[in-house]
Amino acid sequence: MRILIALLFCFLSSVSYASDIDGIIFQPREADLSIPLENWPKIFKSAKARGFNTLVIQWTRFSDVFSSPQNQMWLQDRMLEAAGENLQLVIGLSSDPDVFTRLMQPAPIVGSYFRKLNELNLELAQQWAKVIPKKAIIGWYLPLEVDDRQWRDLSARAELTRYLKRQVSELGEILPVPVYISSFFSGNMTPERYAVMLESIEAQSKAHFWVQNGSGTNKLIPAERDLYLDAIANCSGYAATGLIYEIFTQTQADREFAAKPLSTSEMNKALQQRSPCHGDRLFFALNYLIDFTNPK
Q: Domain of 35: which CATH number?
A: 3.20.20.80
Q: Which residues contact 149 (CB under 8 A, 6 or more apart)?
A: 186, 188, 189
- The answer to whether position 295 is within a domain reads no
Residue 197's alpha-carbon distances to 7, 159, 209, 213, in angstroms, are: 26, 14, 11, 17
Give domain status of residue 296, yes or no. no
In terms of residue numbers, what domain contains 137? Answer: 2-289
Number of domains in the chain: 1
Query: Residue 54 in contact with residue 48, Cβ under 8 Å?
Result: no
pTM exceeds 0.95, yes or no: no
Residue 268 near residue 11 (C-beta atoms within 8 A)? no
Residue 199 CA to residue 233 CA, distance in Å, equals 11
Amino acid 255: pLDDT: 66
Residue 18, SS3 per DSSP: coil
> With the CA atoms of 98, 102, 103 and 104 taken in that order, what torsion angle do they form, in degrees rounded to the nearest 10?
110
Contacts of 106 (CB under 8 A, 6+ apart): none
Cα torsion 218, 220, 222, 226 to 10°: value is: -120
Asked whether 74 and 40 are in contact (CB, 8 A), the reply is no
- Going from the C-alpha of 87 to that of each of 49, 53, 76, 127, 138, the distances in angstroms are 10, 5, 14, 20, 10
> What pLDDT does 8 receive?
42
**Pair type for strands 179-183 and 137-146:** parallel
Is residue 69 assigned to a domain?
A: yes
Q: Which of 175, 174, 196 is nearest to 185 (CA)?
A: 196
**CA 93, CA 158: separation in Å to the nearest integer?**
22
Tell whether 294 is covered by a domain. Answer: no
**Predicted pLDDT of residue 228:** 97
Each of the 296 residues of the chain gets a pLDDT tens digit; together they read 444 444 444 444 433 334 579 999 999 999 999 999 999 999 999 999 999 999 999 999 998 999 999 999 999 999 999 999 999 999 999 999 999 999 999 988 999 999 999 999 999 999 999 999 999 999 999 999 999 999 999 999 999 999 999 999 999 999 999 999 999 999 999 999 999 999 999 999 999 999 999 999 999 999 999 999 999 998 887 799 999 999 999 987 766 778 999 999 999 999 999 999 899 999 999 999 999 999 98
Q: How far is CA 79 from CA 52, 61, 229, in A?
A: 15, 14, 32
